[in-house]
Amino acid sequence: MRSIEEIRNKPGTCLVLGNYRPGIQAILDFDHLCGKEAPSIKAIVTAGTKFQKYFWGKGEVLIPCFPTMLAAADAIESVEWMFNINSGRRARQTTIEFFDAFPSALGGHIFAEDVPEKHAIELYERYQKKGKTLVGTAGVGLLVPGYLKLGVVGGADWRQLEKNNLKESGSVAVLSASGGMINEIITMVASTSHGISFALCFGGDRFPLTSPKDAFLAAQDDSQTKHIVYYGELGGYDEYELVELMKSGAVSKPVICYISGVIGEAFDEPVQFGHAKALAGNKSETASAKRAALTEAGAIVAHSMKEFSERIAGIEKDELKEEAMSLDGRSASLFTSTISKETENGYEFAGSSLPDWAHEGDIALQICSALLGKHPQSQITVDFIRTVFLLSVDHGPQVSGALNTIVTARAGKNLVDSLAAGLMTIGPRFGGAVSGAANEWLSGVTEAKDPAEHIESYAKVKKYIAGIGHKKYRVGLEDPRTAILAKFSNRLPNHRYYDYAKAIEAITTTKKGSLILNVDGTIAALMLDILESEEHYSHQELKELVDADFFNALFVIPRIVGFTAHYLDQKRLDEGLFRLPDDDVLLG
């Protein structure tokens, strides 16, 4: 296994596989109590959510979630450790997926019980035997105080972590087959003014991924470890390997141990205890035989838990800092916002203070940052959104949104009511086609659809293609807005979505001259290209924007200004209630 000193020098970061809130929160609390600037957990591989909210100190932090290992690998450059809390049935496959996605990772902890023995052996041969550090299965993990916590070893509650002084390294290595007992032993050590150098639970399965022998050699090689405290059980032959290490001098540090299960010798037939390995099939596997062998090899062997505790208390004490930290009083927030907040220095919006935005003087940059949730990487993105807003602010009083705003204003309603009336008309037939068009071009390109087949699939069901067609403009009568927007394609290194949309147009206009690529379709195509080539969005991220109706926001935001202008215009004119003349209504 990897040396403990190497872990202290570079503890690294962790990817969680599965969902176990107490275990994840325990690692974050450990990180914070140790004074780390950021959580060691980079992300969680779990379905159903994009983020999970956890406490970070007395505040909160969002941990990104990914539905698959490949999605996590696309978003995260590297991680060193894995905390695998999937079921025993899925432990092998998810561990393989992790190392396939992150081949330079150092190792990890597999929490699950009931991992098939052949899977445990395969994982040992495939990874542990070739230099990775895997801990488990059916254990609670690895702990290097002040540096790394993989699993619930050391405790799941911050009070236990604090009480056991796991913020700094001590001199006692705690090694155990039992997940339940290792935390009890850590508390024994800490309560008698001793510190932990590291703690490792190799679990109670027949074929642990890190054996007691591996752990003892790691303790021997660790310069901070002065004593080894070991808790073993009846069953198996691990302790005889430890005896050989001590007799040969490979392990020379003092060992205090307790081997549980003497009660099993009172039965006529072998008794299976809680762990898979805890079964003495013959006399040499009994607790008494192991105790005798360890005593002969020079270990201090306790014959009761009381004596075990007293032996631990007799170890030379460590000089530890007495710095208590409390996380009392924290409570979860009701909702999360990453867009704005109030600070001691005023309000922040989209990553900058409002005075800074005022100094910047570019509302297009501000709105672009707000829509993306981060500052854009390219000036092209800002320029495009600014141009879209300038071209989309109003398309005349006749269109349904403006007309509804006008009618409502003339009925004597206020600004908000009139504006809401106009906005409520936005949909697939008016202004709401930008997201629909983005979905057309995104699916068409990523699924490599043939444009002709794409068109035919709509023709068969007599449906319109979003982003295609205009009432006024046609072939030979170009929409000046699309002409301006089209120039952005010349500024992009790649514009495959725009090319696809133009390929659709090349076919539809042969059927009817008015079936041109309209302004909605143009905005959608070029925005996809800009996000992909300039902002480096993945396909999954683009799909999420489509599903979130991001592209329609490019119409809604500027049109709010236009509707407001129509409302104020009507208040200035004060023409009174609008009523359609009888001649304009067909009365049946």
Reported as a single tens digit per residue, the pLDDT across 26-55 is: 999 999 999 999 999 999 999 988 999 999
- Does 278 have pLDDT greater than 70? no
Distance CA 61, CA 54 (A): 5
**Which pLDDT value is given to residue 8?**
95
**Which pLDDT value is given to residue 456?**
92
445 Cβ contact list (under 8 Å, min separation 6): 496, 497, 500
Single out the residue of 515, 536, 547, 518 nearest to residue 442, CA to CA. Answer: 547
pLDDT tier at 317, thresholds 50, 70, 90: confident
**Which pLDDT value is given to residue 225?**
96
Please report, rounded to a whole number, the percentage of residues in the chain having pLDDT higher than 90: 75
Give the mean pLDDT of 63-78. Answer: 93
Distance CA 168, CA 346 (A): 38
pLDDT tier at 275, thresholds 50, 70, 90: low
**Which pLDDT value is given to residue 335?**
83
pLDDT tier at 268, thresholds 50, 70, 90: low
**Which pLDDT value is given to residue 319?**
77
**Which pLDDT value is given to residue 485?**
97
Give the mean pLDDT of 208-229. Answer: 95
**Which pLDDT value is given to residue 277?**
61
**Which pLDDT value is given to residue 92?**
95
Q: Look at the pTM and tell me if it is higher than 0.85.
A: no
Give the mean pLDDT of 271-297. Answer: 77
**Which pLDDT value is given to residue 322?**
67
437 Cβ contact list (under 8 Å, min separation 6): 466, 467, 501, 520, 521, 523, 524, 525, 551
- Does 2 have pLDDT greater than 90? no
The rounded Cα 525 to chain-centroid distance in angstroms is 29
**Which pLDDT value is given to residue 258?**
95
- Does 204 have pLDDT greater than 80? no
- Does 233 have pLDDT greater than 90? no
Choice between 471 and 235, residue whose per-residue pLDDT is larger: 471
**Which pLDDT value is given to residue 334?**
85
pLDDT tier at 279, thresholds 50, 70, 90: low
**Which pLDDT value is given to residue 114?**
86
Give the mean pLDDT of 63-73. Answer: 94
**Which pLDDT value is given to residue 105?**
96
Give the mean pLDDT of 548-564. Answer: 96
pLDDT tier at 281, thresholds 50, 70, 90: low
Choice between 503 and 179, residue whose per-residue pLDDT is larger: 503
To the query of whether residue 275 is one of the catalytic residues in this protein, the response is yes
Distance CA 380, CA 496 (A): 17
Q: Say which of 194, 275, 495, 566 is annotated catalytic.
A: 275
The answer, yes or no, to whether the previous bond of 210 is cis (omega within 30 of 0) is: no
**Which pLDDT value is given to residue 188?**
93
pLDDT in tens, 120-146: 999 999 998 889 999 989 899 999 999
pLDDT in tens, 401-432: 999 999 999 999 999 999 999 999 998 788 88
- Does 290 have pLDDT greater than 70? yes
Give the mean pLDDT of 279-305. Answer: 87
- Does 274 have pLDDT greater than 70? no
pLDDT tier at 265, thresholds 50, 70, 90: low
564 Cβ contact list (under 8 Å, min separation 6): 415, 419
Neighbours of 502 (CB within 10 A): 17
Asked if 64 contacts 43 with a C-beta cutoff of 8 angstroms, the reply is: yes
pLDDT tier at 586, thresholds 50, 70, 90: confident
Return the exposure string of 144-160: e unless at least 16 CB atoms fall within 10 Å of the residue's CB, then b: bbbbbbbbbbbbbebeb
Beta pairing, strands 346-349 & 340-343: antiparallel
- Which residue matches tokens 């004593």? 227
Which range, of 36-40, 189-193, 282-286, 519-523, averages the lowest pLDDT? 282-286
| Sign, Cα dihedral of 277, 280, 281, 283 | positive
- Does 324 have pLDDT greater than 80? no
**Which pLDDT value is given to residue 400?**
93
The whole-chain average pLDDT of the chain stands at 92
Distance CA 95, CA 13 (A): 16
Q: State the distance between the two ends of the chain, measured CA to CA, in whole angstroms.
A: 87
Please report, rounded to a whole number, the percentage of residues in the chain having pLDDT higher than 70: 97
Give the mean pLDDT of 154-175. Answer: 92
Choice between 467 and 207, residue whose per-residue pLDDT is larger: 467
**Which pLDDT value is given to residue 271?**
65
